[in-house]
Structure 1
Amino acid sequence: MHSLKYLQGYSAETLAKVEKLIAEQTLGNLLLKRYPNIHEIRTDGALYKYTQKIKTDFMGKTQPLNRVTYDSKIKVIQHALGQHHYISRAHGGKLKTVNEIRIASLFRAVPEAFLKMIVVHELAHFKEKEHNKAFYQLCCHMEPQYHQYEFDLRLYLTQVDLFGDIYHE
């Protein structure tokens, strides 16, 4: 039995299916079949535009995004897939708010579904700070396949840990 650290909380039945895929070494093939292509959003500028479009389409008049970047300092295993920062600073007599999203550099060359899931997740945190029902409803509003993409991303991270990256070979 492998340590399925990215899949904690899933049912025993689901974990057994994943273990079978691992034992048969077919997890990577399953992911490649579902998601054969990687996205073209390589630069921070392109990532900002991509994120801004999703924000504009689904979140309307929330605070503006100041920066969206790929961050090589985010280590997926120790930290998270992405980070959101909401900082208020007094600047002169005015209060200035800065909204930033940082996405782990690992996701610079993965299927768009995985990138979108992370972007949607981080955007949702600007409205809902906690991982509660309202948070996940907002995620699903922005991306109806959110839960499937999250699960498949967790499968991908398991694949990377055990066998290496199928998209960077």
Structure 2
Amino acid sequence: MNPTLRYLNGYPEHLTSQVEQLVEKGTLGAWLKQRYPHNHNITSEKALYDYVVGIKNQYLKKSSPLSKVAYDGKIHVVNNALGLHSFVSRVHGGKLKAKNEIRIASMFKDAPEAFLRMLVVHELAHLKEKDHNKAFYQLCCHMEPDYHQFEFDARLYLIHLESEKQK
């Protein structure tokens, strides 16, 4: 497979060949812009926290609270991921304190809202389901019915960003 299509490993050849044609023609960016014409305006840490907590409160009211939500410029490079959920338990006196943090790759500060929502839903699903299993993806689809389409298109967005860097 073409190295620029590494985000599509495991996808069927009929899809990857269509994407490869868009990349070769230089039209993938225009295709994505037509499909997702507007980027979100959630650029501050506070706005991101409010956005994430809003989705969490709508779908996961009884889950553990979030102690931090942030954009992170190092995620993609260090962990080869787009978002991270961390859970830390500490003993404070006689009590066990749990901290849940969500970090989103900074490259999604200037992206379509659908991609940010997909990442947020993915990381929130980890509050209930630690593994990427059937229950995890069912929860993602419960919170965002178009989860799988947005995930695929976010992969195309990453391919587009990388192909633009190479120019």
- Please indicate the TM-score interval, normalised by the length of the shorter structure: over 0.9
Alignment of 1:39-78 (within 5 A): 39-76=40-77, 78=79
Distance, in Å, in 2 between the alignment partners of 1:12 and 1:151 is 14
Q: Secondary structure at the match of 2:102?
A: strand
Distance, in Å, in 1 between the alignment partners of 2:145 and 2:159 is 23
Counterpart residue number, 2:103: 102
Q: How big is the shift at 1:72?
A: 1.4
* Structure 2 unaligned regions, length at least 5: none
Distance, in Å, in 2 between the alignment partners of 1:162 and 1:77 is 20
Q: Secondary structure at the match of 1:87?
A: strand
Deviations 1:120-147 (A, max 9, x none): 0000011111111100000000000100
Q: How big is the shift at 1:75?
A: 2.3
Q: Secondary structure at the match of 1:163?
A: helix
Shift of the 12–86 alpha-carbon distance from structure 1 to 2, 3 Å rule, reads: same
Counterpart residue number, 2:155: 154
Q: What letter is aligned with 1:57?
A: Q
Counterpart residue number, 2:89: 88
Counterpart residue number, 1:2: 2
Q: What letter is aligned with 2:7?
A: Y
Distance, in Å, in 2 between the alignment partners of 1:13 and 1:79 is 26
Q: How big is the shift at 1:164?
A: 3.8
Q: How big is the shift at 1:79?
A: 2.1
Greater mean alpha carbon deviation, residues 65-74 or residues 136-145: 65-74
Moved over 4 A (4+): none
C-alpha contact 1:74 1:82 (8 A) present in aligned 2? yes
* TM-score normalised by structure 1 residue count: 0.93
Q: How big is the shift at 1:20?
A: 1.2
The structure with the greater share of residues assigned to helix is: 2
* TM-score normalised by structure 2 residue count: 0.95
Distance, in Å, in 2 between the alignment partners of 1:99 and 1:78 is 18
Distance, in Å, in 2 between the alignment partners of 1:88 and 1:72 is 25
What is the CA RMSD across the aligned residues, in angstroms? 1.4
Distance, in Å, in 2 between the alignment partners of 1:34 and 1:58 is 27
* Structure 1 unaligned regions, length at least 5: none
Provide the aligned length of Structure 1 versus Structure 2. 165
Q: What letter is aligned with 2:102?
A: I
Distance, in Å, in 1 between the alignment partners of 2:28 and 2:77 is 19
Distance, in Å, in 1 between the alignment partners of 2:92 and 2:79 is 34
Q: What letter is aligned with 1:88?
A: S
Q: What letter is aligned with 2:117?
A: K
Q: Secondary structure at the match of 1:75?
A: helix
